[in-house]
């Protein structure tokens, strides 16, 4: 039950910050609106939007988990949890569940806004698409939690964005087909998690494939999430003092 107690505390703490809640809701809508207005060709938008959904889920999931865990450390909450009779895996899993609730909220907001407001066309079962998006969100939260261990302030967390997030955006195929990139960039792109997130959600929304059809993408994203979760727990003690 300790995992759920930590998750509950994280959720309540974020809910008390009205500005954060407002930003969690408004910022994704603004970005999605800009994309919808700036791409008048519906065919191009339908092709780009699935990969863009994966990018936004990764970006916001990384940001909220990374900054929030860093605040927990700077306020001394993390040290108190580490002093309690809890394993580091319990602590990291509790934070994962708490932040995942907000990552899921943003995922639903972005998806339904793009589908019903921007009139984005898609194929496949809606519930299967959402399940895959949740998996991307889990991986994003694990990545943000892991990176936060190595940051001492929020500025350093922001520096991880051009180091960890931006390269994945350029190499996942959202701006340019991966197949048309130089071969060495294709190899680099194929070891990054966002490539499989964008590929999986694109196949589901454009080709109507099911979760069973994208088993490779699901397996790789799940492996990344588990690996990052274990690494975050293993290195958590190193990040307790800011």
Q: Examine residue 242 and state whether it is found in any structural domain, yes or no.
A: no
At residue 199, the pLDDT reads 93
At residue 41, the pLDDT reads 80
At residue 242, the pLDDT reads 42
At residue 239, the pLDDT reads 45
Q: Which domain holds residue 38?
A: 2-237
Task: Yes or no: say if 141 and 226 are a contact pair by the CB < 8 Å rule.
Answer: no
At residue 225, the pLDDT reads 92
Instruction: For residue 55, give every residue at least 6 positions away whose Cβ sits within 8 Å of its Cβ, in sequence order, or none.
Output: 169, 172, 174, 194, 198
State how many domains the chain has.
1
At residue 237, the pLDDT reads 57
The share of the chain scoring above pLDDT 90, in percent, equals: 22
The C-alpha atoms of residue 179 and residue 185 are separated, in whole angstroms, by 10
Q: Examine residue 231 and state whether it is found in any structural domain, yes or no.
A: yes
Q: Name the average pLDDT for the chain.
A: 85
What are the tens digits of pLDDT across the range 76-110? 777 777 777 778 888 888 888 888 888 788 888 88
At residue 214, the pLDDT reads 95
Q: Examine residue 209 and state whether it is found in any structural domain, yes or no.
A: yes
H-state helical runs in 117-214:
126-148, 154-160, 166-171, 183-189, 193-207
Tell me the two tokens of residue 103. Answer: 């990552």
Tell me the two tokens of residue 203. Answer: 């196949």
- What residues in the chain have per-residue pLDDT under 50? 238-242
Q: What is the pTM of this model?
A: 0.88
What are the tens digits of pLDDT across the range 143-179? 998 888 888 777 888 888 888 999 999 888 887 888 8
């Amino acid at each position: 039950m300790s995992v759920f107690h930590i998750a509950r505390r994280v959720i309540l703490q974020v809910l008390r910050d009205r500005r954060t809640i407002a930003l969690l809701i408004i910022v994704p809508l603004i970005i999605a609106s800009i994309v919808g207005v700036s791409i008048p060709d519906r065919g191009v938008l339908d092709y780009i939007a699935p990969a863009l959904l994966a990018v936004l889920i990764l970006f916001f999931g990384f940001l909220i988990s990374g900054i929030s865990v860093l605040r927990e450390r700077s306020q001394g909450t993390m040290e108190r949890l580490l002093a309690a009779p809890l394993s580091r895996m319990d602590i990291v899993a509790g934070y994962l569940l708490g932040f995942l609730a907000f990552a899921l909220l943003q995922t639903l907001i972005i998806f339904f806004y793009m589908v019903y407001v921007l009139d984005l066309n898609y194929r496949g079962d809606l519930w299967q698409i959402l399940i895959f998006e949740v998996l991307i969100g889990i991986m994003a939260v694990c990545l943000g939690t892991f990176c936060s261990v190595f940051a001492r302030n929020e500025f350093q967390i922001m520096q991880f964005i051009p180091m960890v997030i931006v390269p994945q955006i350029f190499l996942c195929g959202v701006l340019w087909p991966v197949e048309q990139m130089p071969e060495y960039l294709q190899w680099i792109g194929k070891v990054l998690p966002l490539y499989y997130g964008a590929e999986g959600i694109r196949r589901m929304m454009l080709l109507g494939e099911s979760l069973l059809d994208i088993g490779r993408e699901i397996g790789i994203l799940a492996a990344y999430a588990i690996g990052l979760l274990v690494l975050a727990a293993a290195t958590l003690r190193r990040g307790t003092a800011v």
